Amino acid sequence: MPYRIAALPKQEANIFEVSSTDMATIVVRCVDVGGPIHRDLLTRRILDSWGYRRSGVKLNAHISLGIAKAAELRRISFRGEFCWPSPAGTVIPRGASSEGWLREIGQIPEEEIIEGIVTILERAYSLTEDELLIHTTRLFGFQRTGSDIVRRVTAAIRLAKVQERLQDRNGWLQLSEGKRLSK
């Protein structure tokens, strides 16, 4: 599934004159379409709608007020650095946008990477960790496995094992019994 980017209209008002409640509405729109979304990426999307190429302390603080307001209104929730729609639905692994834009690996929540791993193993049944790493990398649209990608996907594989979603059978990773989707 391609990553979707919220289509925010070009903003004309002075960003600092926008109330935290109105900013929260913009935040919720971004999170509902592109969530879970990394907080930095969310801020970038909002700044883009105002035509800002760079952020600063005051701009970030003002947008943070909108993010906090959206959370206070229970329209979004946080898990680490990620903003999630509220209520959070099922996480679906998302690759490049239809325009070919890719999120950085650090902008993909671990839960989404694990769901990607599960999706791959539902089709492949059993892969070595190296094969699973490559397939997971490709699922998210990356053509190369740099050190950040290897570290992040490997951490997700370890977490999936701890959560007992994966099992290692003599070097072959499989979904744990009872963790497969019923078809």
Q: What confidence tens digit (pLDDT) does each residue in 79-111 have?
A: 999 999 988 778 999 998 888 889 999 999 999
Check pLDDT > 70 for residue 123.
Answer: yes
Sign, CA torsion 26/28/32/38: positive
Give the pLDDT confidence score for residue 42 in this predicted structure.
97
Place of tokens 């946008």: 97
Residue 125 has pLDDT above 70, yes or no: yes
Which pLDDT score, from 0 to 100, does residue 179 have? Answer: 57
Decide: pTM greater than 0.85: yes
Q: Does the pLDDT of residue 7 top 90, yes or no?
A: no
CATH topology of domain 105-175: Arc Repressor Mutant, subunit A (1.10.10)
Find the DSSP H helices in the chain: 20-34, 39-49, 57-72, 110-124, 129-139, 147-162
pLDDT for res 99: 85
